[in-house]
Amino acid sequence: MPHQKFESANIKPRYPKGVISVWGINSVYPRTPWISAWWAAAFPGFGHMYLGKYLHGIILVIWELVVNNLSHLNMAIALSFLGRFEDAKAIINMDWALLYLAVYIYSIWDSYRCAVEIKKAHLLSEIEDAPVTPSSVNYFDINILDKKNPLFGSIWSFFTPGLGQLYASSTIVGTFILAWWIFVCYKAMAVRTWLYSFLGDFDRATEIVDWQWFLFLPSLYAFAIYQAFVAVNENNTLFDIEQVRYLRVRAENLGQISKNENNTVQVVATFEHSSFVEIVIHDMEKMGIPSENIIALPLENLDSQIHIIDSIHRVDGSSVLDGAMMSATIFSVLGTIYGFVWDWGPIIWGLIGLIGGFILGLIIELVINKKKIKVFSNPKSEVIIEVTCNTSLQNQLIEVLKSRKATGYVIMPQR
């Protein structure tokens, strides 16, 4: 017998908070405008993909790869950084380079503008208290909004860009990034370059690599790692927001009042936001506990402390990885460019630039943010559930709480 009483799919908000479909999960999570503009400057299309405007982003990424390649812009940039200005002038195709300029500026401007508009849409969706249908079951896929670990997303994209996006349930984005990563690596001879570099044959690695295509890789690689982390964070936040709305509406609809009667016991338990909260409520109802005797209260977060890495237990988006990943991208590109003429080659110097830039950016962020900063966010109790049941159900109730991952419980004394 179904116990679901609040059908989110029946409510059509004017300003939705997010959507879950076979193609992925997306939301109007508020993003920082200047960060989206910076990613657009690093690689046109990335700023829009960071905002969740994936169609715009994919179009601009394809445009960047085609027009940049036809104009030989990457080669001209690399030669300019190496001081070979005459060679840079000779190699660049001005017809395509002039066509490139307007779209590049538009990408930066529009990503900033869209970030501002998305913030407004998020505010309006909060005012409207828009619901989100938390799952999508389709012939092709099953997509469920659930808590995941942001660090795992970054780690999978570190090994192969696109995998972290697939882990974050961003099917279209993950497929696109993975496909372009494979294609660009093939055109740049990147796999053989990587192999020769780690075998110590740096001359051979530098000789076979295609500069024009290879210089796409540092920005693509850094963005894939960063975007996977952000995508998991935003999905986790969307889960928290929707569960808070569900619990609040549940309490209002049931008009819950807790009473201490004879032969009853009150048990108070704490949970982190997860699917176990709704499962344990369902378990209690199946035990015969009336719905109005189960009070679920989501807690407001009062901890404004900044964390370097958000965990699956604590997602507030206020990490300091933005500046670190930007610095990593810049130094990875520079390391790759100078790696073409330095010993060790572009692969080794690109990785050194990536890691060194990340550490440098993180140090700068730590210096700028004068508050105490923790490396990892601490788990916290986010939902309190108060249950009034018959004394005979006490032991069974406690077993259910343990099996559904309650962080703690207490049996209230009789008054």
CA distance 56 to 58: 6
Check if the beta carbon of residue 173 is closer than 8 Å to that of residue 24: yes
Summarised one tens digit per residue, pLDDT across range 374-414 is 554 555 557 888 888 888 888 888 888 888 888 888 887 76
Tell me whether residue 251 is exposed, middle or buried, using C-beta atoms within 10 angstroms of its C-beta: 0 to 12, 13 to 18, 19 or more.
Answer: middle
Kind and range of the H or E run holding 144: strand 142-144
Summarised one tens digit per residue, pLDDT across range 21-76 is 888 888 888 888 888 999 999 899 999 999 999 999 999 999 998 998 888 888 88
Summarised one tens digit per residue, pLDDT across range 280-306 is 888 888 888 888 888 887 776 555 454
CA distance 363 to 361: 5
Number of H helices, E strands in the chain: 17, 10
pTM: 0.76
